[in-house]
A and B are shown apart, each in its own frame.
Chain A
Amino acid sequence: MTDPIEMLIVDDEPANIQILHAAVGGLGPVRFARSGEQALKLARDAPPDVVLLDVVMPEQDGFQVTRALRSDPLTAKVMVMLVSATCGDADVDRGLECGADDFLAKPAPPALVRQRVRLLAELARRRRG
């Protein structure tokens, strides 16, 4: 029996949230945010193990949210997986430069999403010691 993984899904599009939730819901509790601002508040209130973060969002995009998470001691160690329909080399480079741990192209097979989240959660636990 593995420990539940606490996740936060961030996307401005409800359908994308629900599809990711269908993929990872069995791994542990899942909260969601529909904006970067809301995501940062929820992450500070109760830091999750893994954030699944859309890149293209109005106001704060996923890159900006990643930087904000990394710059706050409360959320600096949270694992961040950027999720985007646009997944070119430049996007991946920029995401990793901002401090993201992983980058996933959507649509993604549910089994792949689950496996990546499991691996990130394991890394998160090691990172926290």
Chain B
Amino acid sequence: MDDVFDWPGVLRRINGNAGLARRLLTDFFADHLPLRIAAGHGEDVRRLVHRIGGSAGNLGLTGVAAAARACEVLLLSGSPPDGAEWRSALDRLETCIRVARDGVDAVLAGLPEDSPAEGRAGGEYPVSPGTLAALLADNDLAALAAVERWHAAASPSPCNDDILEAVRALDFTRAASLLAVEEGDND
């Protein structure tokens, strides 16, 4: 299994935070569809396969990482993107992604659906909207832990859920805008 998905390895890299691992892996498979590679051109494709390789390596998707790197090496060597060699490498990457996805699904299926809050730093003190806004404005990653506590204490609302999702996706600009709207509505 480790040659497809190194689950212990990815857990080690993120301090055993299974909830974060689930989310990053889910995002990976949502983002990196082989169709995007097939539809791309030139330098964009090289960047995309490089990005897939780097992320896959970090996320313990060892087979995907190796297949993506093989694609990148091929492109760097000047292999034509419509040639048989490229097509074969891309097929291999697609297969690896599919196999990895099955492996990941099997592991994630064994985890509890709702993970506890992902934040760890900073203890259990309440987080005010002002504090959260300041962290977002500074692009401070302490916002990742802060937003979990803020969300847990805030009144349930679709907007608050969107703020949580935007922060988790590191889209702090959107999160800050949503937070400003939410706080304006609450005034």
The answer to the question of B174 belonging to the interface, with a C-beta cut-off of 8 Å to chain A, is: no
Q: Which of A19, A33, A86, A106 interacts with B24 by CB under 8 Å?
A: A19
The answer to the question of B63 belonging to the interface, with a C-beta cut-off of 8 Å to chain A, is: no
Q: Mark A1-26 against chain B: 1 for CB-CB distance below 8 A, else 0.
A: 00000000100111111110111011
Residue from the set A22, A31, A42, A106 with the largest chain B CB neighbour count within 10 Å: A22
The answer to the question of A74 belonging to the interface, with a C-beta cut-off of 8 Å to chain B, is: no
Q: Is chain B's binding surface mostly helix, strand, loop or mixed?
A: helix
* Closest B residue, CB atoms, query A7: B141
Q: Is chain A's binding surface mostly helix, strand, loop or mixed?
A: mixed
Q: Mark B3-41 against chain A: 1 for CB-CB distance below 8 A, else 0.
A: 000000100111101001000100110000000000000
* Closest A residue, CB atoms, query B15: A22
The answer to the question of A66 belonging to the interface, with a C-beta cut-off of 8 Å to chain B, is: no
Q: How far is the CB of B25 from chain A (nearest CB, A)?
A: 9
Using CB atoms and an 8 Å cutoff, list the residues of chain B in contact with chain A. 9, 12-15, 17, 20, 24, 27-28, 47, 50-51, 53-55, 57-60, 65, 69, 72, 121, 138-142, 144, 169-170
* Closest B residue, CB atoms, query A111: B12
Across-interface contacts of A25 in B (CB, < 8 A): 121, 141
23 residue pairs from A and B, CB less than 8 Å apart: A14-B170, A15-B24, A15-B28, A16-B58, A18-B24, A19-B14, A22-B13, A22-B14, A22-B15, A29-B140, A32-B170, A33-B139, A85-B50, A85-B54, A85-B65, A86-B72, A106-B54, A107-B9, A107-B57, A107-B58, A109-B13, A110-B12, A110-B13
How many A residues, CB 8 Å from partner? 32
